[in-house]
Amino acid sequence: MSMGRESLGQMIAKHHESITEKLRRLDSIVERLELYPLASSVQVAETSKHSPSDPTTRSKKVFVVHGRDELAKTSLEVFLHEIGLDPIVLHRQADEGLTVIEKFEKHADVGYAFILLTPDEVAYLACEDDKPDAERAKEKRARPNVIFEFGYFVGRLGRSRVCCVYTGDVALPSDVHGLIYKRYEKSVEEVAYGIMKDLKASGYDVS
């Protein structure tokens, strides 16, 4: 064998040294990685856990927006409890020194919202002030806060995760289409099947 060429044993020895050095470097990198905090990955996991766009990780919390019809509100709450959900009603939550909007924003982190429209107010156009009351064109409306929260959840969750349950001759928003509207006469149970079907389509396990 020529003096200028390495023997097979020398080549194997060099490769062994090279591999040993690379393994040593990898061990060093692993040791240094353990010093870095994992907060960023934990935050990503927590974000995905509460993300309304991921139906497989969505919590059982759903928000209930309501007006002054206590019977309708309570009936909807009871029904949602019965199918395994956790309805969030704002006035039942602790105030914690928060303003109303702060309290609302804190508890609005849900994956689905129910808007209960009930005929709580009677309205007519201001231009008809000079007409006798009997001649004014009147309509029954939900409370202004209900309409505000309705729009908030449509913007936050998207139309497919907002269900509007209404009763009576209450006026419905004229500029919002493609929403889930469910009308009942006497009891929320009348639209129970439709509500459960839509919840399942959004990833909720209800029964």
User: Token match 């060429």: residue?
Assistant: 5
Beta bridge partners, 182, equal 165
- Which tokens in the block code for residue 184? 């009942």
Over the stretch 87-108, which tens digit does the pLDDT of each residue have? 998 888 888 888 989 888 888 8
Average pLDDT over residues 114-120: 88
Over the stretch 155-167, which tens digit does the pLDDT of each residue have? 898 888 999 988 8
User: Token match 């509100």: residue?
Assistant: 73
Q: What CA–CA distance (Å, rounded) separates 177 from 174?
A: 8
pLDDT at 22: 64
Distances (CA, A) of 131 to 121, 123, 150, 152, 202: 19, 14, 32, 35, 48
Which amino acid, residue 201? A
Over the stretch 126-151, which tens digit does the pLDDT of each residue have? 777 778 877 777 777 788 888 889 88
Over the stretch 8-26, which tens digit does the pLDDT of each residue have? 666 666 666 766 676 666 6
